[in-house]
Amino acid sequence: MTSNKASDVLSEGFRRLEQLLDDQCGQYRRIEEIVDAQRESLRAADVESLVALSAEERGLLEKIRVIDHRRVELVSAIAAEIGLTTKSSPALSDLIEHSGARRGRLVTVADELRQLIAKTRAASRVVRTAAEGLARHMQGIVQSVEQGLSRSGIYERTGRIVSGPSRHSSIDIRS
pLDDT in tens, 147-160: 666 555 555 667 66
Task: Band the pLDDT of 69: cuts 50, 70, 90.
Answer: very high
Instruction: Fill in the DSSP letter of residue 83.
Output: T
Residue 169 lies in a domain: no
Average the pLDDT over 9-33 and give the result.
Answer: 93
Indicate which CATH number applies to the domain containing 55.
1.20.58
Backbone phi and psi for residue 155, each to the nearest 5 degrees, phi listed first = -100, 140
Q: What is the mean pLDDT of the chain?
A: 82
Q: Is 161 helix (H, G, I), strand (E, B) or coil?
A: strand
Q: How many domains does the chain have?
A: 1
Residue 107 lies in a domain: yes
Residue 173 lies in a domain: no
Average the pLDDT over 25-33 and give the result.
Answer: 96
Residue 49 lies in a domain: yes
Supply the pTM of this predicted model.
0.72
Residue 172 lies in a domain: no
Residue 70 lies in a domain: yes
Which among 123, 136, 121, 12 has a CA at the least distance from the CA of 74? 12
Residue 126 lies in a domain: yes
In terms of DSSP bridges, do strands 161-162 and 154-155 run parallel, antiparallel, or are they unpaired?
antiparallel
Structural domain of 18:
3-162
Q: pLDDT tens, 115-166?
A: 999 999 999 898 888 888 877 877 777 777 666 665 555 556 676 656 555 5
Residue 89 lies in a domain: yes
